[in-house]
Structure 1
Amino acid sequence: MSEQKSSQAKPAPLDSRSPWVVDTRELGRHAGLSRSVQRSVSVETALGVPDVITIDVGSELVLDLMLESVVEGVLVSGTATAIATGHCARCLDPITEDVEVDLTELFAYPGSTTEETTSEEEIPRLVDDRIDLEPIVRDAVVLAFPLAPLCEDDCLGLCVECGVKWADLEPGHGHEKIDPRWAALVERFDDESGEDQAKGPGKQA
């Protein structure tokens, strides 16, 4: 295990100026100590599924977190909230949704048993007593998005014939359906009727 650990590259230092990076030195690796973190972060890369639902660039993502020192690292818990925009999957109307996700993540101390027995993909690490919240927040927010967002739970969508919202159509709305076996005959009849009208009375051959 020590050989495996020694072969791992040292994590790149974190930018302390980033609003996503939190300094944990005041916890001092003393299990039981905690501190709260509240901050608003401007989104620099849109979160979500383009043309479906996203938290757009420039939107504010509000973090309300508790950092607690435990034996193996720093436990982060709390919420992240933001406003997402998109389009209803049924009627395509624009929608706006309040998004709130719960966060719970352990950041492992260097040299801890957790660090030595897990990969960074499984559990993130502290780097120089700092933690980077962005990956865990982004993952949690994206996973919280509905696969098919709706403007209303009972949205009826669009009429497949004319493309108008069912909510805007009169009761009993429908379209005449012609048996495909007769469609060519009906089309020919309509064409002949149009030609007769164009010739006018008395001009028929």
Structure 2
Amino acid sequence: MIDTREFGRSPGSSRSYTLHPPAPAGFGLDMIRVSEGEPLELDLLLEAVVEGVLVSGTVRAKASGECARCLDPVSEEADVEFRELFAYPDSATDSSTDEDEVSRVSGDLIDLEPVVRDTVLTSLSTAPLCSPDCPGLCPGCGAKWVELDPEHHHEMIDPRWAALRERFGGTEEEK
């Protein structure tokens, strides 16, 4: 939360902030997330405008998770810019927009968590990779392809023919 009383409501007044809040719980996606308590780095400029407070800046965060192909640990840095208008109560923006369309100043406070969360989460990879050419896991045994012999393979039998194989004891090639 940022208190807007520190720079006033006169259009044109502004104030810069550098903040290092801890990341809240649940700050991530399925395969990658910012750990709870991990410091976020916020460089902000708050500007008073006629309708409210315009907040612009950057957020930096370190995310960690698992490779989507081989499940090895991966890390990723999010460094993204954002700009959000927080409308004053009873402003022209308040009457011309839906309640969830524009963020609002609550009293004299601005809650940046939803904006920061949305900004960081949309910048993270939905399927992070340990390397662009990661071959992943063998679908037959689950071992990592990079650790397997190049000749590694599994005999796959169409399940529709498996009952015949069991009944007659294999194929001609096996006899």
TM-score by length of 1: 0.72
CA distance in 1, matches of 2:78, 2:39: 12
Structure 1 residues 104 and 162: CA distance shift in structure 2, 3 A? same
Q: CA deviation at 1:135?
A: 1.4
Establish whether residue 38 from structure 1 lines up as the match of residue 27 from structure 2. no
1:63-78 equivalent positions in 2, closer than 5 A: 63-78=42-57
Establish whether residue 120 from structure 1 lines up as the match of residue 92 from structure 2. no
Q: CA deviation at 1:37?
A: 1.0
Q: Which residue of structure 2 lines up, in the alignment, with residue 84 of structure 1?
A: 63
Greater share of residues in helix:
1
Q: CA deviation at 1:176?
A: 4.0
Q: How much is the aligned-residue C-alpha RMSD, in angstroms?
A: 2.3
Structure with larger Rg: 1
Q: Which residue of structure 2 lines up, in the alignment, with residue 7 of structure 1?
A: none
Q: CA deviation at 1:159?
A: 1.2
Q: Deviations over 1:54-89 (max 9, x none)?
A: 112121111111111222111111111111111111
Counting matched residue pairs gives: 167
CA distance in 2, matches of 1:138, 1:41: 12
Counting aligned pairs with the same residue, the percent is 50
TM-score by length of 2: 0.83
CA distance in 1, matches of 2:156, 2:24: 51
Establish whether residue 166 from structure 1 lines up as the match of residue 145 from structure 2. yes
Q: Which residue of structure 1 lines up, in the alignment, with residue 111 of structure 2?
A: 132
Q: Deviations over 1:19-61 (max 9, x none)?
A: xx111223322222221111111123121135x2111212111
CA distance in 2, matches of 1:46, 1:81: 17
Contiguous gaps of at least 5 residues in structure 1: 1-20, 191-205
Q: Which residue of structure 1 lines up, in the alignment, with residue 33 of structure 2?
A: 54
Structure 1 residues 134 and 172: CA distance shift in structure 2, 3 A? same
